[in-house]
Amino acid sequence: MKNITNPETSVAAAGGKKRRREEEEEVGGSHAANEDECFSLQDELTFSDTSVALRMMRAQFPRIDQASVPPFILQSQLYSSLNDRTQVDRELERLRRDKAVRVFKLNTGQDDHAIIFLDDYLYQVDRIAKRMEENKQSDTDIFKWFKEHVLDSKLEPSIAHHELCSLLALGGKVKDAHITLLINAGLLTRQLIDPDMYWFAIPSIGKLWKALLQGRKELLSLLKRKRHKEMFLAELEKRRLRYSPLDMRFHIRDLIGSGHLKTFQTTSGLVVRVSND
């Protein structure tokens, strides 16, 4: 992988339009089309540590039209980006305890976890509270209590009903309507196996986790139709997916980390192949 264009040089050469797009801070900006991307996945497939990988993948998260979901990174994508999974688990746990990130269990029917920087998630909560206030919704103080007393102290992906109410009560008198409001806002979901337990949730992510499953299926189907069930990474990452707004690079990282795809180096470049069943 020698003689690869420096990503910073490529970004600078892309001009003002590229810089303006990258400088957008509000979640849900315009989706960056594949042909406008200036980095190569082959150039940035692996990283030195988990924190660097998270920051880079956050910056590269696809910008999706009409989506209000904060940038998220799948745990499987982290596994594809570092050679040592134990290192990933250890460093991710440290970042979680340091309140730099939160980890969420996704309702995909598989063992999928999404990682979001805490600042991004708190910004999402603030946006929901503001929207509720603009719509004259009552009991919006619950969002402040949720931020200050629940999210700040409960770092695990789930919480029991009694613990949730106890923490919220540090802000004021808790009513059943408060819990319902948090659920309707998409910040909590009841666990099916135990209705007294909740998962912390990512608002508005429903359509994207469905797209995640469709994109996985489409990418694997594409490769399985090839003679050796493989393609050069440089060629594959330029393809467009029909059924997922999450870009090809997002799905490639995910499927490599989950073990459905594997990579190997050749004299002509890095090759992606479907793993043996």
Q: Are residues 193 and 211 in the same domain?
A: no
User: Is pTM, for the whole model, over 0.75?
Assistant: yes
Q: Are residues 196 and 268 in the same domain?
A: no
Tell me the β-bridge partners of 272: 231, 263
Report if residue 14 sits inside a domain: no
Q: Are residues 119 and 191 in the same domain?
A: yes
Q: Are residues 125 and 254 in the same domain?
A: no
Q: What is the mean pLDDT of residues 213-230?
A: 94
Q: Half-sphere exposure of 268 toward its Cβ, with a 13 Å CA cutoff?
A: 7
Q: Are residues 154 and 70 in the same domain?
A: yes
Per-residue model confidence as pLDDT tens digits over 32-73: 333 344 456 666 677 888 999 999 999 989 887 655 788 999
Report if residue 186 sits inside a domain: yes
Q: In Å, what is the CA distance from 182 to each residue of 24, 139, 161, 165, 202?
A: 28, 10, 12, 12, 11
Q: Is the pLDDT of residue 5 over 60?
A: no
Number of domains into which the chain is organized: 2
Given 200, 217, 235, the domain boundary residue is: 200
Q: Are residues 65 and 149 in the same domain?
A: yes
Q: Are residues 61 and 159 in the same domain?
A: yes
Q: Are residues 191 and 124 in the same domain?
A: yes
273 pLDDT band, cuts 50/70/90, is: very high
Residue 8 pLDDT = 43
AA identity, residue 53: A
Q: In Å, what is the CA distance from 49 to each residue of 7, 54, 58, 253, 270?
A: 19, 9, 14, 16, 22
Q: Are residues 170 and 254 in the same domain?
A: no
* Percent with pLDDT over 70 in the chain: 83
Q: Are residues 57 and 174 in the same domain?
A: yes
Q: Which residue has the higher pLDDT, 83 or 217?
A: 217
277 pLDDT band, cuts 50/70/90, is: low
178 pLDDT band, cuts 50/70/90, is: very high
Report if residue 73 sits inside a domain: yes
Average pLDDT of the chain to the nearest whole number = 84
Query: Which residue range is the domain that position 228 belongs to?
Result: 205-274
Report if residue 163 sits inside a domain: yes
Backbone angles phi, psi at 273, to 5 degrees: -135, 145
Report if residue 21 sits inside a domain: no
CATH number at residue 264: 1.10.10.10
Q: Is the pLDDT of residue 205 over 80?
A: yes
